[in-house]
Every structure is written in structure tokens, then in C-alpha cells.
A and B are shown apart, each in its own frame.
Chain A
Amino acid sequence: MKVSREWLESFIDIDVSTDELSETITRGGIEVDAIEDYTKDIKKLVVGYVKSVEPHPEADRLNICQVDLGEETVQIVCGAPNVKADSYVIVVRVGGRLPGGVKIKRAKLRGQLSEGMICSLQEIGIKEDFVPEAYKEGIFIFDSEQTAGEDALSALYLNDQVLEFDLTPNRKDALSMLGVAYETSALFGGMIRKPKIEYTESDERAETSIENLNLDAVPFYSAREVKNVVIKPSPLWMQVRLIKAGIRPINNVVDISNYVLLEYGQPLHMFDKDAIGSDKIVTRFAEEGETFTTLDGNERTLKAEDVVITNGQEPIALAGVMGGLNSEVTDKTKNVVIESAYFDPIKIRKTSHRLNLRSEASQRFEKGVSHEFILPALNRAAYLLEQYAEGTVQAGIQSDGQLDLEPKKITTSTDFLNNRLGTELSDDEVLDTLGRLGLLAEIEAGQLEVSIPSRRDDLVIPEDISEEVARIYGYDNIPSSLPKYSKITAGKLTDEQAKLRVIKHQLNAHGLSEAINYALTSDKRIGEFSELKDSLNLLMPMSEDRAALRTSLLPHLVDNATYNLNRQLKHASLFEVGKIFKTNGQDQLPEEILMLAGIMSGRQNETAWTKDGQDPDFFTLKGVVESLFIKLNLNDRISYVKSQRFEELHPGRTADIYLDDKVIGVIGELHPLYREAHDLKQTVVFELNLEEVLAEKTGNIVYEFLSKYPSISRDVALEVDNTVLVKDIEDLITDAAPNYLQAVYPFDVYEGEHIEEGKKSVALRLTYLNKEDTLTDKDVESVHQKVLDALVNKGYIVR
């Protein structure tokens, strides 16, 4: 909604600057997005009287005009095709300025002196879209006598600023000048002047009959007839006010309809009475598939939920959305039927959205128009047609349906308002605040009863009254406090939330940075690194790349690695915590699974001058993952089993990660084909089901006394088939030595020329400890021999 200050002043006196007006309105709850200042960058713009026009001797398209500027008459060379003698025009004088940084200087055009410039509306800052057709291709010419030399902006009603409102959906009351005047009055005080309605009805009665076939769709429909109108341009003030509101003037009849819409927020429609084709207006639902040509010339196929205005047979307008081509007001129109109605908001909204026809009218009907303005708007339009189109207003208003003009009541109390707001307002303060809003209210026995006129039918419940009181009383005046709870509860992170933070910190410390990727991905990436091959898809994706919900975090992390390494970074180590989505069908909620994934690509920890650094391999990343499980006290329950589940991963260098006997993730090197397709060198990744990990309760730390006795180590060197896993050897040893064995770990693994093909040598170190007593060689020998026996029995060669 664009609100001209000059127009608003016709409704209410304003004695503050436009900036203050704007600021107070903003603080009152209507955000003023911008102030459009029509005087900005304009200097020395005056009304000129064109005394004579002579063709330029040297140029076909130029004319030499003698223009009276009041104090003096100057010669101006003008190229506009519509310049004519004996006309009043806008002139910018020498030394003046126009928007866009234009400075006017004395000039010679093809040898002829030109002292100033005759302007078009575009040149003084009016947007092309709003310039009336007649002036589009040339200069502006006043339609009435003016005083030469006067300030042209004032003469054009453009000595003005326009406030551009960004209205929230609940403030439909401010979709009219009258509504804005009420708001201004609530904020500043002051009386409101309503628009003048003083027509004289003719003796002849209006003859059109009205019938609403469905009163839910059209609860009220009224019409007036105005005969013998003369179609011509509307008066300048009306045209300019429309322009300032963002509407292009067309002709007096159409302009009056738009003007009244802006005054009352009540959209009207003007029918050419003689084109209706009957003396009846019947409103009804459209028939499914019925076609109808709207006045923009498009044929529309209607649905049974659309509401149409008909002549009893066929549609003549699409209710609240657009008129019909068949009944449009044209240059030849003589007699007019004015429509002023209430249409069901939801029906209008559906139709206008479906047909993508959003207009000044439909946006008001969609929010519900005010019953109290339906008839005043109708009468005001009749009056204006009488005044500015020389029409005759036929007697009577034709209508069908009921207006609801009885104010609604909201019952609440000062105590309630104070409780919700945290204020200590007195009854009088509350009544005073409501009075400023123009709401009648009274307090009796502690009950506050507020009467709500239809222009504020957005106010329904006591909380709505609390908002009105708060915003007029002023949010700055509301005190600050902290809640006094009925029960004190401590705030804390859950175990899962606390552990997640630890995981993130630890991954950061290992050199991985945190990524956040989009959850929406391309269909093609579904199933990569995942056993979920079906995806949950958007009904209407905006692009192919964002059509489905991801089933793994890894595809986007791989993209991130490629992105970074393509930008001259030496390495990329990233992790992400986020959800993947396991579909249960498009019309069910999916299973959302919180995952943790990581990637390492490029040389890590490189110190150039020492030649230190590693290309990340399986074990680099496994070390990181193990450190997480140590931190989470789960490492003893984690195992790694070679896996070929995913074709994106190297078949020999990939493992499933088990927690007890449950697979909770995967770790591995990217398959050479996959990584080449993504322009990467050796790259390792992992992905874990974080929910499984975080769901484990590991309790508190159990402290053990430090042993006073030393431990004893024994090394074992074995020759085994190269298919034997170190884990299997470790398990065998652990089983064979139930006492004293503290730890067993491999310290050398060798496969190569010094050993038989198909074999490998594995050296392990076993550490024995008796926490209670000194461990003797004899004690160790007895258990260690069992270990050796077990290894030999298994067929391993002990060396």
C-alpha cells in the first residue's frame, strides 16, 4: 500500500514531518518500507505557457517554442510530437535539475537557442508504467488553465512524499486511505474527515435485479446505476493520486472505481450496463469447465469452486478477481452499473491464486472487506460519476443478501491485559488507549467490553485487544522483567547433545572442519554409499539438483573435497553431522537418521621443509574414528569387518564398523573409478549412524588403583597365511591367556620377498601384569606357554 501524504491530509490533519510520520507509523506496527519523495532531485520546475510553436528550420522533428514562464518568456527547442501552442506545460528552467542527475543548461540545438526544457512525466520521475496513455510518447500538457511561472510540482499535486507500507497479513484495515487515517488518528490524535457523498438521485429507478444463488459464496451484493456518463480523462488530482498509489489512470469511470477502492478498501466493478445483455445480475458458482474471457483478453477455463457474476445466463465477471471482456467499460459506454459486494475470501483466494491473477481488488477480497464500507463506497462512486463523468444517478440501491453491521463484542478485563503485558495500566488508561483507536469500550464490575466495528474485524479475542493496547501504549513503555516460574528447573544439555559437541571438537582437533551441506540432492546421488535406494522426493522441486532428500552424507562431502582441491588447497578434511532420510512412502513421515560422516583427501599434516606428511589411507582415518570411540568409551565394543557393500568404495580397503554385533557404519578408501570421476586422488571416508552411537549409555568412569608392580612383556613372531587377520590372532591370544594379559598389539607385519608367497609374518607384543603382586617369570611362563600352544595348535608357525 502506497500512501500519499497529500492525499492522507485530505482525511486528517498532520502536523509532523514525513519522517516522523513514517517512524511513528512503523513503531505502531506498520512497517514503512520506503519513502518515495517526488520532490527529490528536482529544482526550478515551473508551469510554462506555450505561446507559439514554429518548426525548427534545420531539423524535422524539433520545434521552436516561445514559452511564458511568468517573469519572462524564453525560447525552448522541443522534440516532443505533442507540443502545441496555447497549452500549459511543465518546464525546467536553466540551472534546474531533474532526477537522474540531469542539469539543465542554456544550449544551442542546431543553431537555435534553447533556454530550458519542456518535460514529460517520465522525465520528472514518474514510472513509465503509471503514465497515462495520452502522455506516454510526449510531454505532459495540463488539462486546465494554470498560472505560468508557478511551482509545477504543486500544480501537479507532486509536492508530496509517498509512504510505502509493508503490511503484515493481519493489517487489512490499513489497505485503504480511510483505514490509514484511523491509524494516524490512533497514533497522533485528530478528527477524521470522511469522503464527500452528495449526489442527486434521478426520478428513474435503477432497473437491474440482483440475485445471489449461493449466499456462502456471495453473502452480499449491491449495485447502483449511473446513466449517460461521458467517458473522458479524470481530473488531474485524481490521476496523480492514482499514479502515486501505483495505478495507471485510464479514463474517468475506471479511475473512479480504483480511486474509491483506495479510499475505502472496497473494490468496485463498473459494468457497461448495455453490454450486460439482460436486466439481471445473478451470482453463482461456475460450472466445471465453463469458459469465460476476462477483460485482459484471456480465455479462462473455470472450476466449480470459482464464483462468477452472470447476466442470468453467462458470466460477465469473475467475482472479485477480474471483469469480463463482454461487459467492459469502453470509450463508447453510456450507462454504468457499479458493483459493490462481499465475496467469500477463501473462494477469491483460491481462484486468484490458481489463475495467478493477483490484483488490488483480489488482495482485498481475499482478506475480507469491511461490511461498513460496502454501501458508502458504492454511493461515493455514484457521486464521483455524477461529478466527473456527468452521469445521472438512478434512484435506489439494488442488492441481495445481508450486511453484518452490528459491532462484535470482546469481553476482557484490565487485569487480564496487565497480566499478559506485564504492565500496571489503570482502567482509564486502557479506555483512553482504546478510544484513540476509535473502539468504543466500557468497564463495568471489572469487565471490559469492547465494541469492534467491521473495519477492525481482525480483532476477535482478548489477546487481540492486548496487542492493540500494547502498540498504542507503546512497546518502549512496557517494563522489562524475567519470568517467575511456578517450578524451578535446571537447564542442561542431554547426554546425547553433550557427546555430540565432544565429537565435533575432537574431529576439529584431528584436522577435520565442519561442513553443512544441503539435505536436498539430485535423484542421481540417491543410493550412493547407502543401502537406501528409494528416496523421498519433493512434489515440485525447483531444480533437478534439489529434488530428493539425501540417503547418505558422503556424496556432498565428496563434492566438497573436489571443490576445495580444485581451488589450490593441498588437502581437504571435512566432516558433517546431519540427517539422512529413509522413506516410508511419500505420504508418511520418513525415518530421520542422524549421521556423522567424514572425508580426508590430499596430503595431511605436511611440513614442507621436513618432508613430513601422509597421504591419507584407511588407517589414517581409522585412527580418527578409533579416537572417537575411545572418547565415547565404546572402543572395546567396536570391530571392523572387511566389506564390499558399496561400489563407491575400494573392495579391498573398506570395512563395516560394528558396535557389538550391529553394523553402525562404514569406513574405506574411495574406489579408484569413483574418485577419478570426482577428480580426486587417494581419498578416505567414513559414515556412522550417530543415533546408534549416542544411544549407548556407558555410565561413569570407574577408577582403578595404579598397580605398584611392574608388567612384563613377551614378543611373539608368527608366520601365518596372509589371509589371517591380526584381529583373529589377537582374539586367539586373549582367549588362551585369561590371567594377567593386559594388552596385546601388533608391532610388525611383513609380507614380501623374505617370506614364502602367500604367507606373512606378524610380530605381536603381549604385556602381562599382576596388579596384586609381583609377577614372577614362572607365572608368566605358565600363561605364555598356553598362548604359544594355542598358536601352534591353530597351525601358525611360531618363530
Chain B
Amino acid sequence: MTVEMTTIYDEFKEKLSNITSRQALADLKVQYLGKKGQVTGLMKEMKNLSNEEKPAYGQKVNELRQNITSDIDRIDEELHKEELDKILSEETIDVTLPGRAKEIGGPHPITRIIDDIEDFFIGLGYEIKEGFEVEQDYYNFEALNLPKSHPARDMQDTFYISEEILLRTHTSPVQARTLEEKKGVGPVKIICPGKVYRRDSDDATHSHQFTQIEGLVVDKNIHLSDLKGTLELFAKKMFGNERQVRLRPSYFPFTEPSVEVDISCFKCKGAGCNVCKQSGWIEILGAGMVHPNVLEMAGFDSTEYSGFAFGMGPDRVAMLKYGIEDIRHLYTNDLRFIDQFIPTEDGGLEDESI
């Protein structure tokens, strides 16, 4: 460096040491490196030098420029950091305040239950079939082996619209219609969820409208043991791995044999509690082997084909699973109720809520 250069650089260093803001630093940069700056001024001296001297001189000026540039950059970085530290120290928030609300709604508990049941049976190759809520007497009763004079018609009080038209009392008409569609050829594997209606006065345990989900399998060589195996798998999936299934003889006009299906109580594990009324078992399904009359009426040869059917009430399942004390909660649409069903759940674990 020439003496002149050394002087310039020392002066620069002196001034730089007094810089406290990025603005002052920018001004200093212009003062030395700008178009009219001192270092730029040195370059202009080049023209007065001989060709031999020029390269060495240019190199020295560049060296100076680089020193100054790197000094400025270094200080700039320091100052920037100082400034930012100051801003950041002022920008602290209370992270415990609530976030901006994004409301989310809940699925209806019955929908949760039905979706779970559907998904299980889809896994076993079933399809989901839906049908009419207003039905003909024929599909609701007669095609299910319940002729007009049948005493079992007493079992379900029906909302009639006219002599032949009614609100379906179960989802079984979907089975009858589906069998008819299949024109006597299996396999049939369906799950039928839907709303059903009975002439009941609404109270804590009765509702004139509720939901049902039924399953139907028809093929060659379907046994009662297949029903038992299927429902055992189902009980484990829905209510936990340790669940056992018990069949008790019962009666439905559309199945023969007919059974009630109990599962071992998921609250007390069979020891007896208020959920299972001290019996250790909870009645959860009605089921049986499809009555040959039902198969024949729908065009299936009942000597070649057999099948099983089962039905349950998602309302009841929801009430048992969650410990809901009044069926009317399911139809009141109180958001304090529905919104309890927003979170996801893990499957197959103990139900602690009951």
C-alpha cells in the first residue's frame, strides 16, 4: 500500500470504530466506495501512471477496496444482529393465549357407530344397501314370512299410512328387495343401515324413530356356525379383543333357527355390573338362519341356498358404548351432546367412558 492508501485506510478504521448504526455505516461506505468515494478516487489516479506501474497500483487499490468492503460487511452483520436482537426482545408474545378460533363440528354418534360397523363388514366383502323408509306392507312383513294374520305382528307396532303403505319397522325390507334383485343367484353379502319407525311413545329408552343395521349373507352352504364366527369377529372389533359371544335361542319370523346374541360385558368383563344388569352379558343382536320361506319368496331355492341374517340398533350400541342414559339425546341435536363426539378414538381398547 502506498502511504496515501495507508492514511486512507487508517482514517477509515478510525471512522468505522465510531459507527453505531447501519445508516451511518451505509454513508461511510458511500464515502469510501461510492462513485465519488475516496477509494474510487484513487483509481482515477491510474491514468497518470506508466503502463508498467499500472498493474501493481491497481492491485494495491483493489486490496484496499477489499479490506474496506470486508470490514464494512463485518460491522454491518454485527449491527444487523444487534438491531434484530433488540426487535426480537420486544416482540415476545404470551404463547398461552388461545389461537384464532376455527370451529369444527362433530359427527353424530350414530354415524360414528354405523361407519365403524360398515367398515368392518366391508373388510369382509360386504356391500352396503339402503332402501325406502316408507315401504309396502309386502316388503316390510309378508316377504319376511309375516303374513297379515301372523301373531308376531303384535311385536312391532307400526305407523301405517294406508292399509298397504307404512313406515318400515326394521331395515329387513332392504334384504327382501335385494334378494329379489339377485334373481335367485348368490352370493349375497350386504349390510343395510337406516332409519326405522315404531309406534312408541318417546321416553328415555324408547324412540318412535331409531336406526337399525342389518346384515345378510346368502350362498350355498352357509351354516349357523358361520354366523357365530362372523359375529365373534365383529364383537372383538367393535368392543375389544377379549369379548366373547353367546347365542341364545329366540324367535323372529324371518329366521329359523333364530338367536339372540349376547356379548360379554365390556365394562365389568363378565363379573356383573349395572351395564349388563349383573348378568355379565349384554344383549346386542338378533340373528338367525334365513327362513326358507323368505328365500323362496325372493326366488331362491332354499334347498340349494341357505343364509344368515343379523340386526342390531346403532342407537343401543352408542348408548352402551358411551354410557348415554337417554335415547332422546340422540335426536335432540343439542350441540353440547353432539360435540362430545368430535375426537377420534382408538379401536379395540377398553371403553373407559361407561
Cβ of B133 < 8 Å from any Cβ of A? yes
Cβ of A607 < 8 Å from any Cβ of B? yes
Apart from A27-B248, A540-B159, A589-B134, list 15 A-B contacts with CB within 8 A. Answer: A27-B249, A169-B151, A420-B224, A422-B226, A466-B289, A475-B248, A475-B249, A475-B259, A478-B224, A491-B189, A513-B106, A517-B331, A563-B332, A574-B333, A612-B101
**Which residues of B lie under 8 Å from residue A549 when comparing CB positions?**
134
What are the interface flags for B132-166 relative to A under an 8 Å C-beta threshold, 1 for contact and 0 otherwise?
11111000000000000101101100011111110
**Which residues of A lie under 8 Å from residue B97 when comparing CB positions?**
609
Cβ of A313 < 8 Å from any Cβ of B? no
Question: A471 to B257, Cβ gap below 8 A?
Answer: yes
Cβ of A16 < 8 Å from any Cβ of B? no
Cβ of B230 < 8 Å from any Cβ of A? yes
What are the interface flags for B70-111 relative to A under an 8 Å C-beta threshold, 1 for contact and 0 otherwise?
000000000000000000000000000111111111111011
CA distance A520 to B134 in the complex (A): 12
Known: A491-B121, A517-B331, A574-B333. A511 touches B161 (CB 8 A): no
Residue of A nearest to B128 (CB): A497
Question: B226 to A483, Cβ gap below 8 A?
Answer: yes
Residue of A nearest to B305 (CB): A486
What are the interface flags for B318-354 relative to A under an 8 Å C-beta threshold, 1 for contact and 0 otherwise?
0000000000001111111011001000000000000
Question: A489 to B187, Cβ gap below 8 A?
Answer: yes
**Which residues of A lie under 8 Å from residue B161 when comparing CB positions?**
536-539, 586
Cβ of B242 < 8 Å from any Cβ of A? no
Question: B333 to A515, Cβ gap below 8 A?
Answer: yes
What is the interface of chain B, defined by CB distance below 8 A to chain A?
97-108, 110-111, 115, 118, 121-128, 132-136, 149, 151-152, 154-155, 159-165, 167, 186-187, 189, 195, 197, 199, 201, 208-209, 217, 219-226, 228-230, 232-233, 246-251, 256-259, 289, 291-292, 306, 330-336, 338-339, 342
Question: A486 to B187, Cβ gap below 8 A?
Answer: yes
Cβ of A346 < 8 Å from any Cβ of B? yes
Question: A463 to B256, Cβ gap below 8 A?
Answer: yes
The residue that A461 contacts in the complex, of B98, B122, B247, B256, with Cβ under 8 A, is: B256
**Which residues of A lie under 8 Å from residue B332 when comparing CB positions?**
563
Known: A169-B151, A366-B151. A513 touches B256 (CB 8 A): no
The residue that A607 contacts in the complex, of B98, B122, B134, B199, with Cβ under 8 A, is: B98
Question: B209 to A519, Cβ gap below 8 A?
Answer: yes
Question: B336 to A567, Cβ gap below 8 A?
Answer: yes
**Which residues of B lie under 8 Å from residue A27 when comparing CB positions?**
248-249
Cβ of A29 < 8 Å from any Cβ of B? yes
Known: A471-B249, A507-B105. A419 touches B162 (CB 8 A): no
Cβ of A703 < 8 Å from any Cβ of B? no
How far does the Cβ of B329 sit from chain A's closest Cβ, in whole Å? 11
- What are 22 residue pairs bridging A and B, where the CB atoms are less than 8 Å apart in the complex? A29-B248, A169-B154, A470-B224, A475-B259, A478-B224, A478-B247, A481-B223, A482-B233, A483-B223, A486-B219, A486-B221, A491-B124, A491-B126, A504-B107, A504-B111, A512-B105, A542-B201, A563-B333, A571-B103, A573-B103, A587-B162, A607-B99
Residue of A nearest to B186 (CB): A486
Question: B249 to A572, Cβ gap below 8 A?
Answer: no
Question: A508 to B259, Cβ gap below 8 A?
Answer: no
Cβ of A349 < 8 Å from any Cβ of B? yes
Interface size class of A (residues with CB under 8 A): 35 or more
**Which residues of B lie under 8 Å from residue A345 when comparing CB positions?**
151
Residue of B nearest to A516 (CB): B108
Cβ of A494 < 8 Å from any Cβ of B? yes
CA distance A475 to B231 in the complex (A): 14
CA distance A745 to B84 in the complex (A): 39
How far does the Cβ of B233 sit from chain A's closest Cβ, in whole Å? 8
How far does the Cβ of B142 sit from chain A's closest Cβ, in whole Å? 15
Q: Nearest 3 pairs between A and B by C-beta?
A: A422-B225, A422-B223, A29-B249
List residues of A (530-586) whose CB comes within 8 Å of B's CBs. 536-540, 542, 546, 549, 560, 563-564, 567, 569, 571-575, 578-579, 581, 586
**Which residues of B lie under 8 Å from residue A572 when comparing CB positions?**
335
How far does the Cβ of B263 sit from chain A's closest Cβ, in whole Å? 14
If over half of B's interface residues share one DSSP class (helix, strand or loop), that class is named, otherwise mixed; here it is mixed
CA distance A771 to B123 in the complex (A): 44
CA distance A549 to B163 in the complex (A): 17
What are the interface flags for A476-518 relative to B under an 8 Å C-beta threshold, 1 for contact and 0 otherwise?
1011111111111111111001000100110111111111111
How far does the Cβ of A688 sit from chain B's closest Cβ, in whole Å? 17
What is the interface of chain A, defined by CB distance below 8 A to chain B?
26-29, 31, 168-171, 345-346, 349, 366-367, 419-423, 461, 463-464, 466-467, 470-471, 475-476, 478-494, 497, 501, 504-505, 507-520, 536-540, 542, 546, 549, 560, 563-564, 567, 569, 571-575, 578-579, 581, 586-590, 592, 604-607, 609-610, 612-613
**Which residues of A lie under 8 Å from residue B151 when comparing CB positions?**
169, 345, 349, 366-367
Question: B291 to A463, Cβ gap below 8 A?
Answer: yes
**Which residues of B lie under 8 Å from residue A578 when comparing CB positions?**
195
Question: A510 to B105, Cβ gap below 8 A?
Answer: yes
**Which residues of B lie under 8 Å from residue A589 when comparing CB positions?**
132, 134-136, 165
How far does the Cβ of A368 sit from chain B's closest Cβ, in whole Å? 9
The residue that B250 contacts in the complex, of A168, A488, A511, with Cβ under 8 A, is: A168
How far does the Cβ of A297 sit from chain B's closest Cβ, in whole Å? 27
The residue that B128 contacts in the complex, of A420, A464, A494, with Cβ under 8 A, is: A494
CA distance A31 to B164 in the complex (A): 34
Question: A467 to B136, Cβ gap below 8 A?
Answer: no
Known: A29-B250, A478-B228, A609-B98. A516 touches B257 (CB 8 A): no
Which of A422, A461, A569 is packed against the most chain B CB atoms within 10 Å? A422
CA distance A489 to B250 in the complex (A): 31
CA distance A540 to B257 in the complex (A): 35
Question: B333 to A517, Cβ gap below 8 A?
Answer: yes
Question: B163 to A509, Cβ gap below 8 A?
Answer: no
CA distance A273 to B292 in the complex (A): 49
Question: B132 to A592, Cβ gap below 8 A?
Answer: yes
Known: A422-B223, A463-B256, A485-B219. A563 touches B334 (CB 8 A): yes
CA distance A605 to B104 in the complex (A): 9
Question: A421 to B223, Cβ gap below 8 A?
Answer: yes
Known: A467-B258, A478-B225. A488 touches B249 (CB 8 A): no
Residue of B nearest to A579 (CB): B133
CA distance A573 to B110 in the complex (A): 18
Question: B132 to A518, Cβ gap below 8 A?
Answer: no
The residue that A540 contacts in the complex, of B115, B126, B133, B160, with Cβ under 8 A, is: B160
CA distance A349 to B151 in the complex (A): 8
Known: A470-B249, A511-B104, A574-B335. A518 touches B229 (CB 8 A): no
Question: A587 to B165, Cβ gap below 8 A?
Answer: yes
CA distance A419 to B159 in the complex (A): 39
